[in-house]
């Protein structure tokens, strides 16, 4: 309404039907209301930034003039392509190779189970109450899927949607069929590390019975052992063989280009190991829970990483300064605690 009034008063001013002072007063009122509206929006984004960083960065990116796109991708024949269609085909080929049913043991065994007749008691019962609880747990900050239904809609209509959805799930169990819409997904490639041109990044979590110490955190798995004899070398190789066997049984694949050996100790013989049919390369340094450890236990590389994280914190501060209109104490504290403080604590 104020925008229409401003436009109307501007036209009257140009025609001599209104004074310049009246027009300037309306402009000032409009600017003040816009500033307050932005401040309220930014305070709302800052108050939920810990749970919804995506919303904050979407707001910041919308104010930037340049838009970032996916760079050139290395395709199968070995050349770099910048064509959107070829890049999409490269990602599709990689995802298809990572989730290929022919590599999974149950896909081979399924033919033996075709003659098995399941009774009604063999299927799990998907009741309405269970489906309602799952809908209440949806994250409303997530984007909608190919069906075009936002998670907020499903969560707020959980009492209404629980009944029909439980019937669909139960019918799917009993018939062995999955609705075609459930097989669709929006796949967005997110660069993590390594070569930007490589479309493949596979992470693996492992739970196998090994002789040596195995540590797991998120998508990182480390196999650690003291190798001061031939028996120790053989034991570590057996653990690697067991890990590879576990991956095959569970239909998963190691990204063996990311699997490396870190030899510690001055008297380390630097034995060779292999994962499956591939010999693993030695690495001069590896990251463990964010801390870079090298073969000599030198901290210089870690200090360099800490300095890099400090620069990243400064970039986020610059982003807040240049793209957040409201510089109120409440907004700045919320954004600093959620986006900047973790980087600075890493440097300590």
CA distance 327 to 267: 57
Across 41-50, 110-119, 199-208, the highest mean pLDDT is recorded for 41-50
In a shared domain, residues 274 and 305: no
- 85 occurs within a structural domain: no
| 219 and 168 share one domain | no
User: Does some domain include residue 170?
Assistant: yes
Identify the domain boundary among 127, 162, 183. Answer: 183
Residue 134: inside a domain = yes
| Residues 230, 262 within the same domain | yes
* Residues 304-330: tens digit of each pLDDT: 888 888 888 888 888 888 888 888 888
Tell whether 176 and 129 lie within a shared domain: yes
Task: Name residues whose C-beta falls within 8 Å of residue 237's C-beta, 6 or more positions apart in sequence.
Answer: 273, 274
Strand pairing report for 260-261 and 281-282: parallel
Query: Is 323 within a domain?
Result: yes
% of the chain with per-residue pLDDT over 90: 3
Tell me the three-class secondary structure of the chain, residue by residue: CHHHHHHHHHHHHHHCCCCHHHHHHHHHHHHHHHHHHHHHHHHHHHHCCCCCHHHHHHHHHHCCCCCCCCCCEECCCCCEECCHHHHHHHHHHHHHHHCCHHHCHHHHHHHHHCCCCCCHHHCCCCCHHHHHHHHHCCCCCCCCCCCCCCHHHHHHCHHHHHHHHHHHHHHHHHHCCCCHHHHCCCCCCCCCCCCCCCCCCCCCCCCCCCCCEEEEECCEEEEECCCCCHHHHHHHHHHHHHHHHHHHHCCCCCCCCCCEECCCCCCCCCCCCEECCEECEECCEEEECCEEEECCCCCHHHHHHHHHHHHHHHHHHHHHHHHCCCCCHHHHHHHHHHHHHHHHHHHC
Domain containing residue 252: 213-285
Is residue 79 situated within a structural domain?
no
- Both 121 and 175 in a single domain? yes
Cβ contacts of residue 325 below 8 Å, gap of 6+? Answer: 35, 38, 39, 42
Task: For residues 7-16, give the mean pLDDT.
Answer: 72
Asked, for residue 156, whether it belongs to a domain, the answer is: yes
220 forms beta bridges with 217
Structural domain includes residue 219: yes
Confidence of residue 156 (pLDDT cuts 50, 70, 90): very high
More confident residue, 140 or 208: 140
Share of the chain above pLDDT 70, in %: 75
* Count of structural domains within the chain: 4
Q: Are residues 279 and 309 in the same domain?
A: no
Q: Are 277 and 305 part of one and the same domain? A: no
In a domain, 140, yes or no: yes
Q: Are residues 319 and 279 in the same domain?
A: no
Question: Do 236 and 172 share a structural domain?
Answer: no
- Range picked from 26-35, 37-46, 106-115 for highest mean pLDDT: 37-46
């Amino acid at each position: 309404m104020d925008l229409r009034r401003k436009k109307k008063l501007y036209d009257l001013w140009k025609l001599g039907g209104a004074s310049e002072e009246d027009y300037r007063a309306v402009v000032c009122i409009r600017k003040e209301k816009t500033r307050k509206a932005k401040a309220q929006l930014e305070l709302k984004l800052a108050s939920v930034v810990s749970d919804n960083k995506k919303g904050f960065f979407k707001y910041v990116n919308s104010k930037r003039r340049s838009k970032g796109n996916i760079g050139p991708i290395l395709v199968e024949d070995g050349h770099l392509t910048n064509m959107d269609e070829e890049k999409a085909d490269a990602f599709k080929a990689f995802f298809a190779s990572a989730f290929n049913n022919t590599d999974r043991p149950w896909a081979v065994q399924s033919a033996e189970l075709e003659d098995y007749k399941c009774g009604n008691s063999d299927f799990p019962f998907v009741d309405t109450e269970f489906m309602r609880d799952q809908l209440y747990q949806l994250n409303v900050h997530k984007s909608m899927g190919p069906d075009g239904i936002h998670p907020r809609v499903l969560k707020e209509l959980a009492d209404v949607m629980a009944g029909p959805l439980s019937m669909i799930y139960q019918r799917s169990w009993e018939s062995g069929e999955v609705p075609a819409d459930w097989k669709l997904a929006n796949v967005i490639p997110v660069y993590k590390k390594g070569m930007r041109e490589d479309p493949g990044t596979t992470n693996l979590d492992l739970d196998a019975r090994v002789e040596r110490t195995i540590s797991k955190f998120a998508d990182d798995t480390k196999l650690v052992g003291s190798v001061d004899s031939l028996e120790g070398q053989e034991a570590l190789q057996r653990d690697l063989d067991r890990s590879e066997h576990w991956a095959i049984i569970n239909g998963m694949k190691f990204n063996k280009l990311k699997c490396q050996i870190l030899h510690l100790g001055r008297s380390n013989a630097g034995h060779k190991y292999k994962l499956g049919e591939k010999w693993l390369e030695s690495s001069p340094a590896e990251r463990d829970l964010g801390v870079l450890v090298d073969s000599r236990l030198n901290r210089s590389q870690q200090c360099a990483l800490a300095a890099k994280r400090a620069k990243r914190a400064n970039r986020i501060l610059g982003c807040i300064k240049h793209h957040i209109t409201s510089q109120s104490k409440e907004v700045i504290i919320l954004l600093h605690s959620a986006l900047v403080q973790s980087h600075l604590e890493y440097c300590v």
